[in-house]
Structure 1
Amino acid sequence: MSLLESIAVVLAGLAAGTINTVVGSGTLITFPTLLAFGVPPVTANVSNTVGLVPGSVAGAFGYRSELEGQRGRVLRLLSASVLGGIVGALLLLVLSPGAFEAIVPVLILLGVVLVIVQPRLAARVQARAAARATETGVEKEGDHGWVWPAVFGTGVYGGYFGAAQGVLLMGVLGIGVDQSLQRSNAVKNILAGAVNGVAGVIFIVIADVDWQIVALVGGGAVVGGLLGARIGKRLPPLALRTVIVVVGLVAIASMLLG
């Protein structure tokens, strides 16, 4: 890889780390960049996944204040993400490339729709929960029961490809968890990072990882993760939701047209 190509990969990693921390879909920057420089698709995918792990850690660190009081939730959902990431990574290694990617645009669109309807749908879910509490005299606290399996599903998807995993997670957390988008975004960074991490470990052991790519993408992603936390935390809910929707639609267009 030439010097100019190496610089381009670092910059792509920086952009991906920033976008991943704010919403997700950073893979749609780094993955096409690596393909453009002649890196084989599977090698590009696995090396990119490993390289983005440090950026996820940096982004989670930048959102640490929003994680306060969420230890139980994070640990509970982390198990779903880790298991899903393992399944997704193994699917990448055993299935044909088109077997799973055919439904990726549909999954991303689902995440976008969930984010758009999140305020109204979350209000209805909470209203029904309050009505049940009034009828039974018991108020149920915590996340809705479907959140864990939904997070597991996003983990499977993230372990396989990863692009727009954050969009899907924000759609799930926004509806199933009664808290601000910023606090859910902090949880999203932990969960997405865990998926990349566990998938990365599997790829290191089984797949062909290009460590030069890992170093270049990882170096840029760390800076991008810290930068993304500073940017994302300043966005009001409507602006953050708008960013998520735009990135998700761009991801769908890129995959369909690419």
Structure 2
Amino acid sequence: MDSLFQFDLTLAETLLFIIGGIATGIINTLAGSGSLITLPIFVFLCGLPAPVANGTNRVGVIFQTMVGVRGFRKMGITSFAGSAWLIVPSVVGAIVGSRIAVELDENWMNYTLGALMIFMFFVLLLKPERWIRESEADTRRNRHPLSVISFFLIGVYGGFIQAGVGIFLLAALVLVGNYSLKAGNGIKLFIVLVFSLPALAVFLWYGQVHLGYGLAMAVFQSIGAWLGVRFVARMPDANVWIYRLLLAIVAVSAIKFFF
């Protein structure tokens, strides 16, 4: 059990660990796919097996999203009314996905996910005004069967691998729920927080979480989330900047999944 709490990095590795954690918190708060930073850190820097890295990654995600949700709510950026219709199918999907993840190798998904990211890149390029508008969400859309099915499937994916789930959630919130990017980010974080809890429980049950690295990363991801929320609150053209970040992250994610 002691090995699950050890933190054995050199000074240079610790610096990379800290920078990666803060960057991940910012990216996950404003867009998504920050796990494309933390997963390689856990595998190549910390020496964790891929399944353990996948489970350990959920610790930082939970703490980071708690900070982000509190910030969005405190600053009045996001209303969480009607979000239960999106959360419940996401949680059910996450339990299914995490159960699959502890028994299955995720490598076969990489090409599929890369293709999805390329598709998402072109969706972002088409009619960019849909992404940068300031709009009021129509919470009645959250009850539509298309919304329920979409968020269940996103939950399955999030429970399985986590990396990139924020991108898909944000796209569904903007395109299906009519949320703005600013408001959608708050809902996205809330959904990720809720469905990450049962997913983490599954990984803990199967002994696929390194608590030492996970809790340490949680500290720095939380700092990044705090910075990200303040950027959204204080930047007048936040939707435009988030849109640009999304384009960049989706392009990088597509390359990462293929190569």
Indicate whether the TM-score tops 0.5. Answer: yes
| Alignment TM-score, normalising by the size of structure 1 | 0.84
Structure 1 residue 66 displacement after superposition: 2.4
> Counterpart of 1:146 in 2: which secondary structure?
helix
Question: Which residue pairs with 1:93 in the alignment?
Answer: 102
Q: Matches of 1:195 and 1:117 in 2, distance apart?
A: 30
* Aligned match for 1:71, one of 71, 76, 81: 81
* Aligned match for 2:49, one of 34, 37, 40: 40
Question: Which residue pairs with 2:28 in the alignment?
Answer: 20
Q: Matches of 1:112 and 1:196 in 2, distance apart?
A: 26
| Alignment TM-score, normalising by the size of structure 2 | 0.83
Question: Which residue pairs with 1:246 in the alignment?
Answer: 248
Deviates more, 1:74-83 or 1:95-104: 95-104
Using a 3 Å threshold, how does the CA distance of structure 1 residues 118 and 150 change in structure 2: closer, same or farther?
A: farther
Using a 3 Å threshold, how does the CA distance of structure 1 residues 210 and 172 change in structure 2: closer, same or farther?
A: same
Gaps of 5+ in 1: 123-139
- 1:41-94 alpha-carbon deviations (Å, 9 max, x no partner): 1111111122221001111111112233x322x111110211111111111112
Question: Which residue pairs with 2:59 in the alignment?
Answer: 50
Kept in 1, the 8 Å contact 2:111–2:258? The answer is no
* Aligned match for 1:2, one of 9, 15, 35: 9
1:112-123 to 2 correspondence within 5 Å? 112-117=121-126
Of all paired residues, the percent bearing the same amino acid is 25
Number of aligned positions between the proteins = 238
Gaps of 5+ in 2: 1-7, 132-138
Q: Matches of 2:148 and 2:104 in 1, distance apart?
A: 25
Using a 3 Å threshold, how does the CA distance of structure 1 residues 190 and 154 change in structure 2: closer, same or farther?
A: same
Kept in 1, the 8 Å contact 2:95–2:198? The answer is yes
> Counterpart of 1:94 in 2: which secondary structure?
coil
Structure 1 residue 120 displacement after superposition: 6.8
Structure 1 residue 231 displacement after superposition: 1.7
Kept in 2, the 8 Å contact 1:51–1:215? The answer is yes
Using a 3 Å threshold, how does the CA distance of structure 1 residues 113 and 192 change in structure 2: closer, same or farther?
A: farther
Confirm or deny that 1:107 pairs with 2:106: no
Q: Say which one has the larger Rg.
A: 1
Q: Matches of 1:215 and 1:107 in 2, distance apart?
A: 31
Using a 3 Å threshold, how does the CA distance of structure 1 residues 241 and 103 change in structure 2: closer, same or farther?
A: same
Kept in 2, the 8 Å contact 1:118–1:174? The answer is no
Q: Matches of 1:181 and 1:118 in 2, distance apart?
A: 14
Question: Which residue pairs with 2:136 in the alignment?
Answer: none
Q: Matches of 1:116 and 1:154 in 2, distance apart?
A: 22
Confirm or deny that 1:142 pairs with 2:178: no
1:118-133 to 2 correspondence within 5 Å? none
Question: Which residue pairs with 1:129 in the alignment?
Answer: none
> Which letter does structure 2 place at the counterpart of 1:149?
I
Q: Matches of 2:118 and 2:154 in 1, distance apart?
A: 13
> Counterpart of 1:163 in 2: which secondary structure?
coil
> Counterpart of 1:237 in 2: which secondary structure?
helix
Structure 1 residue 150 displacement after superposition: 0.9
> Which letter does structure 1 place at the counterpart of 2:220?
G
> Which letter does structure 1 place at the counterpart of 2:98?
A
Using a 3 Å threshold, how does the CA distance of structure 1 residues 210 and 199 change in structure 2: closer, same or farther?
A: same
Kept in 1, the 8 Å contact 2:78–2:182? The answer is no
